[in-house]
Amino acid sequence: MKLVEESVKQEHALSPKKPIYLVGDSLGGCLALAVAARNPTVDLVLILVNPGESINVVFLSVIFVHILFGNVLSTL
């Protein structure tokens, strides 16, 4: 996840006004979702194809908590 997150941050630094597209299939979809949750200030467009079922539930729960309570992920 760190590699994807670093790439997203580098792209955002180069073009902060352009959205970054992340496409993920299966576990890659979960990875894209996690990166988006950890970087709420970056304009990300997610295309998720068949994200893993059990992992998907965990990440969706994290996103839900993030939406309700703000950026709690920075403390994890």
* Inter-residue contact 70 to 41 (CB < 8 Å): no
Range of the domain at 29: 2-75
pLDDT value at 10 more than 90: yes
The residue count of the chain comes to 76
Question: Six-digit token pair at 56?
Answer: 């998907």
Q: How far apart are CA 72 and CA 11, in angstroms?
A: 24
**Domain tally, the chain:** 1
pLDDT value at 53 more than 70: no
Supply the pLDDT for residue 42: 94
How does pLDDT run across 22-41, given as a tens digit for each residue?
Answer: 998 887 887 888 899 899 99
- A 10 A CB-CB count for 5 gives 16
Q: pLDDT band at 52, cuts 50/70/90?
A: low
Which letter, b or e, does each residue of 17-52 get, where b requires 16 or more Cβ atoms within 10 Å of its Cβ? Answer: eeebebebeeebbbbbbbbbbbbeebebeeebeebb
